[in-house]
């Protein structure tokens, strides 16, 4: 009973006017430590809700969320902030880099507030941007920006890395290389990585695939033979 | 316009309400502030003008010191353009309240009937006077306070009142009501020549109260003046024209009046002169009479002295004579005495001799007498012896007879008689007795005799013998005695013969003695009479001496009397001189008064000479000057706020613009949406701003000034010009900004617009090139620095807004700092005198009473006569025309004691001496003069002089040119005539004492007025109070400005950077850190703005102060350090407040925002 990440009957409701929408309807799944997990489902299935709750951006209304034995679902907003600060690395679909900061500074923005940050410069070198450290986001391509975003998440030295459609705004090749980077990171550092996507093709590269539909986890499969991303086509 | 399109516009407004509100608020603020401040002075003027019109305030005031007559009144009524004329009998005097408070008062007369409505006072409480002796008082808060006046009885202070006033007024006035009068809008600086020098009470009464036979003045209104604003040039022109036409009338009328009055006065004067001369002559005669009398007395005194001397001589000689006589008398007496004594001595010797003889005779006589006596004695003894013998014989015979009887008895009884002796007798008797007592009893005497004889050893027989012997002897002795007597008689006879001559001699001697005694008695009598005579003479002499002493005493008395008479005469003479001096002084006074009756000119005054009017007008001008500066900030900030807001809005709606464009809407139509948005905000803002601003600001300002002025109602109409100007300007500004904001977007193609706009690229900022500095900055500081510079529009908007806020505050506080201290600077530090006495002519200085007041050290510590000549500066090209007081002390060395000459900046003292030419700072500035420049001035008489300035000194009120008397005389060729006296008063002089002093000074000859500097500073101090309200307005406006600007900035910042903020929230920034991320920028902007604002405030303050300064007043122009501090702190407090208000909004940003696609 000691999975690294565990959702137990988690529910989340949104009230839109008079309607109450269940974004998560008794959802339960788990992920083991060090896995590269892909959560896949169609638009509106509740992927992002799951991510938000796991990332500490949103609280669940019912059920339990556990990470590394900690009951996140019971956290106060302040504790959630602390949790985000030290345990979660987040990669956004639209990179969300601070335009006014250089690549290096964007990474530093995160590392500044952490307890045991990785070296920002080194991290950027690791994501292959050693020659773009001083550039502003506007001077970088989408892929490069996403790499900075990944570096920013990694530099915090988090327990989990959450990626929300990391390739959504990227072209095919760039997306592939970013996914490769994420996969490599998982393999090299043993960090647990969760990627949310609507692209089922990506499931092939995952250690674990969780399928979500209408706010429910309809499957949770362990992929014994993940393939490198280069071998996947979509 | 399509309906759906319009709907979309309104929806936009609703959707972006805070943005709309920002535009609305800043426009309202800017427009309201501008229009409000612009219309404030006009509102002030209008409110006053309405009040003036309602109360029919005079347009022109005619005064003549000679008084005005009915004929004058008719003449004035006849002038064209004169609407109404109110003739008045006004007077200034001292009134005493029932509590004994003394008021320097002016009494006005009300129009006699209701037909004239000039200067109508408005009743506040009570009723208007209905009969003579009743009055109403003007109750302005600054004047009489809360005192309940109605029923108060005001007594005319007769001691202080002028004769004329005294005679023509009842002794007291009863207050029946309080009024308000537009004549006295404020109570400042209304001068008078009585009492304390400034008015403290105004009263209105009926004309009947006065019994003057002339009017003291006319108040008149002009045709068509009411329609014009009293503060306008047109009004001034009209009244000036009226004044001119009255001027010529005045010249004519017053000449007539002058001649009349001068004639009267001269006559009176000459009468007085004559009276004086008469009295003088009379007194002189009296004095010479006295002198003569005194001379007589003196002569009499010397006569009696002579007489006394004679008497003294006589007494002395009498005394001498008496002494002589006494001497000769004594000698005579002595001689007679001697003679007498000699006579007595002789007599004595004779008598002695006689006595010797007599003694001898007496002795002899005594011997004879003794012989006789012895004889007599012997006779006696013989006689006694005879008797004895007879007696013894009788006894013996008795015994012998007894014995015989016994014997017979014995024989009878038969008893033998044996013994016939005595013894046998005895024994027989015993025997008898033994036989019977009766028988023995006739023999008891016998027994006793026998026993007694026996006791003598005798017996009857011996005794017979002895007796016989004795008888014989007796006979013999008798014989001898007869013989002796005869002898003695012989002796006596001889002696008598011998004694006769002696007795003769004795008789002669006796006679001689008698004679001697007589002469002695005579001598004694003579002596007694001589003594009496002497006594009498002495007495007489004593009498004479006493008389003499009396005479001497009387003489001394007389001498003393003479002396006192002499003194009296001397006193009388002194008094005479004094009285003459007095009378002459009085005459001089009278002459001065006649001199005062100036050339019979009418004085015509427009409203500008009314203290309330002119100070109100200048205050309105000041507000106007200030109003023209402040709104600039609001405008600038408003434009920037609209620009940034609209830019942001256009950017947000980029996609919509693209869509609309793609749908086929023209650029104009699209732009219209934003222009409409901005226009709606501006117009609504303008309307609200005007509605509030045009009412609120003038209202606050007018009310602030109502501390000093008594404007009953504030009129705050909308001035179309100001309203249109400000709202149009603002709306135009907003539209232009909007157009500018959408211009670049509208030019883009729809396709480009559909794509999200590339975020504004980050840029390296100049700071980064200063590597040592940049590296030292913390990460967050770097971010802040870059962000600040990234958003330039916001940067400027905020900095300008905040600095404007600070600058407004600095200016507000600074105005106070600049104006407040000038009172104490000018009237305490610079002017070191407390009282200024203005003289009509230099002659006042020699007035006796004046001199005595000036000399009393307990009231006036020191005084310095100076000349203040109201001259004109002859300006150099382009400089303004300024009037200047040419100030010449009578003693250059003393002037620095009365005025502190110093430089303003470093406060270093300037020595004043004969060679200095000192100009006051403000004048130097206005005329652009420096030390070493030449100033040309024209003095009162039109003479020109030029001086080389040696020093420029600190001064705040009025312009002065300080010269030494020598320098003045050299330049103007006339010696300066002292017309002012500066007085230093002791520190402990109470206000009351000071008032009394002023009252007495005003009573002196040729003294025009006396001002106490405390009074000046007080009235100045009052006007400063109103500044506080203006500062409050400024603080509120500054706060509003800061609020709008920061609120807007914050709003834009948050909405534009929502995603960024959400991202950093996701990254795990605590709320505090997130807000700090934004607030750090706001804080730095506020700090920069504040710092800039302090600098800006310094300049703005300088500008405003210079603008608001009256030509003749220099403000302190300094802002105190604490004012900078307060301004900065207030500004920062405002921004902190806004940060606090915005905090919830920051906290509410959802992290979900970070997931959204870029706009």
B950 — pLDDT class (breaks 50, 70, 90)? very high
Query: Which residues of B, range 1044-1063, sit inside 8 Å of A by Cβ?
Result: 1059-1060, 1063
CB distance B821 to B892 below 8 Å: no
Q: What is the pLDDT of residue A195?
A: 92
Closest by Cα among B765, B1050, B1083 to A101: B765
Residue A85 and residue B1067: Cβ atoms within 8 Å?
yes
Give the count of Cβ contacts less than 8 A between chain A and B. Answer: 92
Contacts of B758 in chain A (CB under 8 A): 138
B1110 — pLDDT class (breaks 50, 70, 90)? low
Comparing B546 with B170, which gets the higher pLDDT? Answer: B546
Closest by Cα among B682, B687, B949, B586 to B35: B687
Q: What is the mean pLDDT of residues B916-929?
A: 89
Count of all residues that appear for chain A in the document: 234
CB distance B673 to B13 below 8 Å: no
Instruction: Tell me how far apart the alpha carbons of residues B933 and B951 are, in angstroms, rounded to a whole number.
Output: 10
* A165–chain B Cβ distance below 8 A for any pair: no
Share of chain B above pLDDT 70, in %: 93
Number of helical (H) and strand (E) elements in chain A, helices listed first:
6, 10
Nearest CA in chain A to B1070: A81
Nearest CA in chain B to A153: B1067
Instruction: Tell me how far apart the alpha carbons of residues B905 and B926 are, in angstroms, rounded to a whole number.
Output: 18
A211 — pLDDT class (breaks 50, 70, 90)? very high
CB distance B621 to B1025 below 8 Å: no
pLDDT digits (tens, 9 = 90+) for B833-891: 888 888 877 887 888 888 888 888 778 888 899 998 878 888 888 787 788 888 999 88
Q: What is the mean pLDDT of residues A157-172?
A: 87
Residue whose tokens read 């193609």: B749
Helix, strand, coil fractions of chain A, as percent rounded to 5: 35, 30, 35
Comparing B257 with B1121, which gets the higher pLDDT? Answer: B1121
Residue B1040 token pair: 């509003």
Closest in B763, B1069, B1151 to A113, CB measured:
B1069
Residue B594 token pair: 């006649």
Residue B1066 and residue A102: Cβ atoms within 8 Å?
no
Q: What is the pLDDT of residue B1091?
A: 93
Three-state DSSP at B731 gives: helix
Instruction: Tell me how far apart the alpha carbons of residues B156 and B146 are, in angstroms, rounded to a whole number.
Output: 22
Closest in B758, B790, B1064 to A100, CB measured:
B790
Residue B191 has pLDDT above 80, yes or no: no
Q: What is the pLDDT of residue B192?
A: 66
CB distance A210 to A217 below 8 Å: yes
Residue A137 and residue B762: Cβ atoms within 8 Å?
yes
Nearest CA in chain A to B1073: A113
Residue B717 token pair: 């109409």
B688 — pLDDT class (breaks 50, 70, 90)? very high
ipTM: 0.90
**Strands B172-180 and B134-138: what pairing?**
parallel
Q: What is the pLDDT of residue A5?
A: 92
Residue B235 has pLDDT above 70, yes or no: yes
Q: What is the pLDDT of residue B197?
A: 60
Going by C-beta distance under 8 Å and a sequence separation of 6 or more, which residues neighbour residue B572?
A: B286, B287, B290
Distance from CA of A129 to the nearest CA of B (A): 18
Instruction: Tell me how far apart the alpha carbons of residues B35 and B695 are, in angstroms, rounded to a whole number.
Output: 10
Instruction: Tell me how far apart the alpha carbons of residues B645 and B794 are, in angstroms, rounded to a whole number.
Output: 10
Instruction: Tell me how far apart the alpha carbons of residues B229 and B223 are, in angstroms, rounded to a whole number.
Output: 13
Instruction: Tell me how far apart the alpha carbons of residues B1079 and B1056 are, in angstroms, rounded to a whole number.
Output: 15
Residue A35 token pair: 């896995």
Residue B495 has pLDDT above 80, yes or no: yes
Bridge partners (DSSP) listed for residue B863: B983
Q: What is the pLDDT of residue A194?
A: 92
* B1157–chain A Cβ distance below 8 A for any pair: yes
pLDDT digits (tens, 9 = 90+) for B592-641: 777 766 666 778 888 877 777 877 887 788 777 777 777 777 777 787 78
Residue B730 has pLDDT above 80, yes or no: yes
* A29–chain B Cβ distance below 8 A for any pair: no
Q: Is B323 exposed, middle or buried (0-12, 13-18, 19+ CB in 10 A)?
A: exposed
Closest in B783, B787, B1068 to A85, CB measured:
B1068
Optimal mutation site among A98, A108, A132, interface B, most CBs of chain B within 10 A? A98
pTM here is 0.62
Residue A86 and residue B1068: Cβ atoms within 8 Å?
yes
Nearest CA in chain B to A96: B1063
Q: Which of B489-493, B538-542, B581-585 has the lowest mean pLDDT?
A: B581-585
Instruction: Tell me how far apart the alpha carbons of residues B318 and B540 are, in angstroms, rounded to a whole number.
Output: 9
Q: Is B73 exposed, middle or buried (0-12, 13-18, 19+ CB in 10 A)?
A: middle
* A109–chain B Cβ distance below 8 A for any pair: yes
Nearest CA in chain A to B1159: A94
Contacts of B783 in chain A (CB under 8 A): 98, 100-101, 105, 109
Bridge partners (DSSP) listed for residue B899: B831
Q: Is B696 exposed, middle or buried (0-12, 13-18, 19+ CB in 10 A)?
A: middle
Residue B143 has pLDDT above 60, yes or no: no
Average confidence score pLDDT of chain B: 83
Q: What CA–CA distances, in Å, run from B81 to A97, B72, B425?
A: 84, 16, 202
Closest by Cα among B390, B502, B388, B399 to B452: B399
Q: Which of A217-231, B762-776, B811-825, B1076-1090 has the lowest mean pLDDT?
A: B762-776
Closest by Cα among B896, B931, B929 to B914: B896
Q: What is the pLDDT of residue B597?
A: 63
Closest in A84, A102, A108 to B1068, CB measured:
A84
B146 — pLDDT class (breaks 50, 70, 90)? low
B1128 — pLDDT class (breaks 50, 70, 90)? very high
pLDDT digits (tens, 9 = 90+) for B26-35: 888 888 888 8
Count of all residues that appear for chain B in the document: 1159
Comparing B295 with B1015, which gets the higher pLDDT? Answer: B295
Going by C-beta distance under 8 Å and a sequence separation of 6 or more, which residues neighbour residue B191?
A: B197, B198, B199, B1009, B1011
Instruction: Tell me how far apart the alpha carbons of residues B762 and B787 are, in angstroms, rounded to a whole number.
Output: 9
pLDDT digits (tens, 9 = 90+) for B449-466: 878 878 887 777 888 888
Three-state DSSP at B386 gives: helix
B1025 — pLDDT class (breaks 50, 70, 90)? low
Closest in A109, A110, A164 to B1155, CB measured:
A164
Instruction: Tell me how far apart the alpha carbons of residues B510 and B1040 are, in angstroms, rounded to a whole number.
Output: 165
Instruction: Tell me how far apart the alpha carbons of residues B949 and B963 are, in angstroms, rounded to a whole number.
Output: 10
Query: Which residues of A, range 35-54, sit inside 8 Å of B by Cβ?
Result: 48, 52
Distance from CA of B1077 to the nearest CA of A (A): 12
Q: Is B704 exposed, middle or buried (0-12, 13-18, 19+ CB in 10 A)?
A: buried
Query: Which residues of B, range 1066-1125, sit inside 8 Å of A by Cβ?
Result: 1066-1071, 1073
Closest in B782, B1065, B1154 to A92, CB measured:
B1154
Three-state DSSP at A166 gives: coil
Contacts of A110 in chain B (CB under 8 A): 1067
Residue B113 has pLDDT above 90, yes or no: no
Q: Which of B276-290, B560-574, B605-619 has the lowest mean pLDDT?
A: B605-619
Comparing B47 with B418, which gets the higher pLDDT? Answer: B47
Residue B1063 and residue A96: Cβ atoms within 8 Å?
yes
Number of helical (H) and strand (E) elements in chain B, helices listed first:
29, 21
Instruction: Tell me how far apart the alpha carbons of residues A52 and B1062 are, in angstroms, rounded to a whole number.
Output: 13
* A14–chain B Cβ distance below 8 A for any pair: no
* A99–chain B Cβ distance below 8 A for any pair: yes
Comparing A107 with B115, which gets the higher pLDDT? Answer: A107
Query: Which residues of B, range 518-537, sit inside 8 Å of A by Cβ?
Result: none
B322 — pLDDT class (breaks 50, 70, 90)? confident
Distance from CA of A93 to the nearest CA of B (A): 7
Q: What is the pLDDT of residue B1158?
A: 64
DSSP 8-state secondary structure symbol assigned to residue B213: S
Nearest CA in chain A to B786: A100
B953 — pLDDT class (breaks 50, 70, 90)? very high
Closest in B760, B1066, B1156 to A99, CB measured:
B760
Instruction: Tell me how far apart the alpha carbons of residues B500 and B358 are, in angstroms, rounded to a whole number.
Output: 10
Residue B986 has pLDDT above 90, yes or no: no
Instruction: Tell me how far apart the alpha carbons of residues B568 and B572 are, in angstroms, rounded to a whole number.
Output: 6
Distance from CA of B758 to the nearest CA of A (A): 8
Which H or E run contains B817? helix B792-824
Instruction: Tell me how far apart the alpha carbons of residues B141 and B708 are, in angstroms, rounded to a whole number.
Output: 8
Q: Which residues of B786-823 are buried (b: 16+ CB within 10 A; e: fewer)?
A: bbbebbeebbbbbbbbbbbbbbbbbbbbbbbbbbbbbb
Residue B761 and residue A138: Cβ atoms within 8 Å?
yes
Q: What is the pLDDT of residue B588?
A: 83
Closest in A83, A88, A138 to B758, CB measured:
A138
Closest in B1066, B1070, B1157 to A57, CB measured:
B1066
Optimal mutation site among B651, B756, B1067, interface A, most CBs of chain A within 10 A? B1067
Closest in A84, A100, A139 to B783, CB measured:
A100
């Amino acid at each position: 009973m000691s999975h690294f990440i565990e959702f137990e009957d988690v529910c989340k409701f949104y009230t839109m006017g008079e309607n109450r929408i269940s974004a998560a309807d008794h959802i339960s799944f788990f992920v083991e430590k060090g896995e590269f997990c892909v959560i896949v489902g169609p638009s509106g299935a509740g992927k992002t809700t799951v991510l938000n709750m796991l990332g500490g951006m949103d609280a669940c209304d019912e059920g339990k969320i556990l990470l590394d034995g900690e009951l996140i679902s019971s956290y106060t907003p302040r504790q959630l902030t602390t949790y985000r600060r030290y345990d979660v690395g987040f990669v956004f679909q639209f990179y969300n880099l601070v335009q006014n900061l250089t690549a290096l500074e964007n990474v530093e923005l995160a590392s500044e507030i952490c307890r045991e940050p990785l070296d920002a410069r080194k991290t950027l070198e690791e994501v292959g941007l050693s020659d773009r450290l001083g550039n502003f986001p506007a001077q970088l391509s989408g892929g490069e920006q996403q790499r900075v975003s990944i570096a920013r998440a990694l530099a915090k030295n988090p327990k989990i890395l959450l990626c929300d459609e990391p390739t959504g705004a990227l072209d095919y090749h760039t997306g592939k290389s970013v996914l490769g980077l994420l996969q490599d990171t998982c393999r090299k550092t043993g960090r647990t990585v969760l990627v949310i996507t609507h692209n089922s093709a990506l499931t092939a590269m995952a250690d674990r695939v969780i399928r979500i539909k209408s706010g429910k986890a309809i499957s949770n499969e362990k992929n014994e033979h993940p393939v490198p991303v280069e071998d996947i086509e979509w | 316009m399509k309906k759906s399109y319009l709907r979309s516009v309104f929806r936009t407004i609703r959707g972006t309400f805070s943005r709309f509100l920002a535009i609305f608020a800043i426009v309202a603020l800017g427009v309201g502030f501008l229009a409000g401040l612009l219309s404030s002075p006009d509102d002030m003027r209008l409110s006053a003008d309405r009040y003036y019109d309602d109360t029919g305030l005079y347009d022109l005031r005619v005064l003549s010191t000679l008084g005005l007559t009915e004929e004058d009144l008719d003449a004035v009524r006849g002038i064209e353009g004169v609407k109404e004329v109110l003739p008045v009998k006004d007077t200034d005097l001292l009134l005493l309240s029932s509590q004994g408070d003394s008021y320097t008062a002016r009494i006005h007369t009300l129009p006699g009937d209701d037909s004239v409505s000039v200067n109508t006072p408005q009743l506040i409480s009570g009723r208007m006077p209905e009969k003579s002796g009743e009055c109403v008082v003007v109750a302005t808060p600054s004047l009489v306070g809360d005192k309940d006046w109605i029923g108060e009885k005001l007594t005319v202070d007769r001691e202080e009142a002028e004769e004329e006033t005294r005679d023509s007024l009842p002794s007291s006035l009863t207050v029946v009501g309080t009024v308000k009068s537009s004549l006295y809008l404020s109570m400042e600086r209304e001068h008078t020549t009585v009492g304390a020098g400034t008015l403290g009470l105004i009263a209105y009464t009926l004309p009947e109260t006065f019994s003057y036979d002339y009017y003291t003045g006319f108040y008149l209104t002009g045709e068509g003046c009411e329609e014009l604003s009293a503060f306008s040039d047109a009004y001034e022109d009209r009244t000036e024209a009226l004044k001119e036409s009255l001027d010529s009338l005045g010249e004519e009328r017053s000449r007539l009046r002058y001649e009349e009055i001068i004639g009267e006065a001269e006559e009176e004067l000459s009468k007085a002169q004559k009276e004086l001369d008469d009295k003088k002559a009379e007194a002189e005669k009296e004095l010479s009479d006295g002198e003569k009398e005194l001379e007589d007395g003196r002569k009499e005194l010397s006569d009696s002295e002579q007489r006394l001397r004679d008497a003294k001589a006589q007494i002395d000689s009498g005394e001498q004579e008496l002494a002589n006589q006494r001497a000769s008398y004594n000698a005579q007496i002595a001689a007679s005495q001697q003679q007498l004594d000699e006579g007595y001595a002789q007599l004595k010797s004779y008598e002695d001799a006689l006595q010797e003889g007599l003694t001898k005779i007496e002795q002899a006589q005594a011997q004879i007498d003794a012989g006789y006596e012895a004889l007599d004695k012997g006779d006696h003894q013989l006689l006694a012896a005879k008797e004895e013998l007879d007696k013894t014989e009788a006894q013996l015979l008795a015994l012998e007879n007894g014995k015989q009887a016994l014997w017979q008895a014995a024989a009878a009884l038969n008893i033998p008689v044996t013994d016939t002796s005595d013894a046998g007798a005895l024994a027989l008797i015993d025997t008898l007795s033994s036989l019977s007592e009766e028988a023995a009893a006739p023999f008891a005497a016998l027994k006793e005799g026998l026993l007694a004889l026996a006791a003598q050893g005798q017996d009857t027989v011996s005794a017979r013998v002895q007796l016989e012997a004795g008888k014989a002897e007796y006979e013999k002795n008798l014989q001898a005695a007869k013989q002796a007597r005869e002898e003695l008689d012989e002796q006596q006879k001889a002696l008598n013969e011998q004694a006769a001559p002696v007795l003769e001699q004795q008789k002669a001697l006796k006679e001689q003695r008698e004679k001697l005694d007589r002469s002695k008695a005579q001598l004694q009598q003579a002596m007694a009479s001589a003594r009496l005579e002497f006594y009498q003479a002495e007495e007489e002499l004593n009498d004479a001496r006493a008389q003499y002493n009396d005479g001497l005493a009387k003489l001394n008395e007389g001498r003393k009397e003479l002396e006192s008479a002499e003194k009296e005469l001397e006193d009388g003479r002194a008094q005479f001189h004094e009285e003459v001096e007095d009378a002459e002084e009085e005459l001089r006074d009278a002459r001065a008064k006649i001199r005062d009756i100036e050339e019979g000119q009418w004085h015509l005054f427009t409203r500008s000479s009314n203290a309330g009017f002119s100070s109100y007008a200048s205050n309105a001008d000041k507000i106007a000057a200030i109003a023209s500066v402040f709104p600039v900030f609001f405008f600038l900030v408003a434009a920037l706020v609209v620009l940034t807001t609209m830019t942001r809005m256009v950017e947000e709606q980029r996609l919509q613009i693209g869509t609309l464009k793609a749908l086929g809407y023209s650029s104009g139509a699209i732009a219209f949406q934003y222009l409409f948005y901005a226009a709606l905000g501006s117009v609504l803002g303008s309307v609200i701003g005007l509605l509030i601003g045009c009412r609120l600001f003038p209202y606050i300002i007018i009310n602030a000034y109502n501390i000093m002025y008594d404007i009953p109602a504030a009129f705050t109409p909308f001035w179309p010009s100001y309203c249109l100007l400000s709202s149009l300007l603002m709306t135009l500004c907003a539209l232009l900004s909007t157009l500018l904001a959408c211009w670049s977007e509208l030019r883009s193609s729809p396709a480009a617009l559909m794509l999200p706009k590339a975020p504004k690229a980050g840029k390296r900022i100049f700071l980064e090139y200063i590597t040592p500095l940049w590296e030292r900055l913390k990460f967050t500081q770097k971010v802040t620095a870059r962000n600040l510079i990234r958003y330039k529009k916001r940067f400027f908007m905020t900095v300008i807004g905040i600095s404007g806020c600070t600058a407004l505050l600095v200016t507000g506080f600074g105005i106070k700092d600049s104006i407040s201290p000038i009172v104490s600077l000018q009237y305490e530090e610079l002017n070191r005198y407390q009282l200024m006495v203005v003289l009509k002519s230099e002659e006042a200085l020699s007035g006796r009473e004046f001199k005595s007041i000036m000399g009393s050290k307990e009231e006036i510590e020191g005084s310095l006569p100076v000349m203040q000549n109201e001259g004109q500066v002859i300006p150099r090209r382009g400089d303004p025309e300024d009037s200047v007081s040419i100030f010449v002390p009578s003693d250059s060395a003393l002037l620095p004691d009365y005025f502190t000459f110093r430089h303003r900046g470093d406060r270093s003292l300037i020595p004043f001496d004969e060679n200095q030419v000192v100009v006051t700072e403000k004048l130097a500035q206005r005329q652009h003069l420096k030390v070493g420049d030449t100033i040309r001035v024209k003095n009162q008489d039109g003479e020109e002089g030029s001086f080389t300035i040696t020093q420029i000194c600190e001064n705040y009120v009025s312009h002065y040119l300080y010269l030494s008397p020598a320098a003045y005389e050299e330049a103007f060729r006339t010696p300066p005539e002292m017309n002012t006296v500066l007085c230093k008063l002791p520190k402990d002089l109470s206000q009351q004492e000071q008032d009394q002093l002023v009252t007495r000074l005003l009573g002196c000859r040729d003294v025009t007025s006396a001002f106490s500097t405390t009074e000046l500073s007080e009235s100045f101090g009052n006007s400063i109070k109103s500044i506080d309200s203006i500062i409050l307005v400024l603080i509120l406006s500054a706060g509003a400005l800061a609020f709008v600007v920061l609120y807007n900035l914050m709003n834009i910042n948050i909405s534009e950077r929502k995603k960024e903020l959400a991202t950093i929230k996701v990254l795990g920034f605590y709320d505090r850190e997130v807000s700090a991320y934004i607030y750090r920028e706001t804080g730095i902007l506020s700090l920069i703005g504040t710092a800039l604002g302090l600098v800006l405030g310094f300049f703005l303050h300088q500008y405003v102060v210079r603008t608001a300064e009256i030509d003749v007043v220099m403000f302190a122009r300094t802002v105190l350090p604490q004012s900078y501090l307060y301004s900065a702190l207030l500004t920062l407090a405002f921004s902190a407040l806004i940060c606090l208000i915005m905090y919830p909004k920051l906290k509410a940003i959802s992290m979900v925002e970070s997931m959204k696609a870029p706009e």
